[in-house]
Structure 1
Amino acid sequence: MIPIPSGCRVWIAMGHTDMRRGMQGLALQVQEQLMRDPHAGDLYIFRGRRGDLAKILWHDGVGLSLYAKRLDRGKFIWPSAKDGVVSISASQMACMLEGVDWRNPQLTWRPTSAG
């Protein structure tokens, strides 16, 4: 789990991103296409065309970090817009990275009795 400081915003980059890009390429995309400062301390999440790989770019005040996660099964739930960014909460990001639909999380099982 990424230790997100309070006040940090999480942004989802809309559309598909070339997953061959590294730190510098994604930071340049944040700066030029999303019109945001990649060194401001916010997290930016990118998804590839297949939908099973996500990369997170974060500047923690000391340097850039790049995190990657690939799902064994399923795809990351992504907004349907083509361009721009969407802000989500840290808990929604945690759900998304676990493969849960962060837009409408549902309990899958609930106990019916204590004994």
Structure 2
Amino acid sequence: MIPLPSGTKIWLVAKVQTVLKDDPMSGHLFIFRGHSGSQVKLLWSTGDSWSAGVSPR
């Protein structure tokens, strides 16, 4: 897995809560596409922790 910059998970969780109006701990997989379309970020909850991933460029 590619390491994410610090704070990335928090930003994605905030996006899920404010923009999507969903609970980030719901067990869903949230997929975000970058502005240029060349990168995809994934966020999911494992029940007691967060997991996140970034697609390679």
Cα distance, 1:30 vs. partner?
0.3
Cα distance, 1:70 vs. partner?
2.4
Query: For residues 56 and 37 of structure 2, what CA distance do their matches in structure 1 show?
Result: 9
Q: In the alignment, what sits opposite 2:3?
A: none
Among 9, 12, 15, the alignment partner of 1:26 is: 12
Cα distance, 1:62 vs. partner?
1.6
In the alignment, structure 1 segments of 5+ residues that lack a partner are 1-20, 72-115
Give the ranges of 4+ consecutive aligned residues of structure 1 lying more than 2 Å apart after TM superposition. none
Q: Point out the structure with the larger strand share.
A: 2
In the alignment, structure 2 segments of 5+ residues that lack a partner are 1-6
Q: In the alignment, what sits opposite 2:46?
A: 60
Among 25, 36, 46, the alignment partner of 1:39 is: 25
Larger radius of gyration: 1
TM-score, normalization: structure 2? 0.81
Q: Which one-letter code corresponds to 2:25 in the other structure? A: H
Higher relative contact order (CA 8 A, sep 6+): 2
For the aligned residue pairs, the C-alpha RMSD in angstroms reads: 1.2
Deviations along 1:45-73, one digit per CA (max 9) or x if unpaired, are: 001111110000000112111111024xx
TM-score, normalization: structure 1? 0.42
Look up the SS of the partner of 2:16 in the other structure. Answer: helix
- Quick one: percent identity of the two aligned structures? 35
Look up the SS of the partner of 1:61 in the other structure. Answer: coil
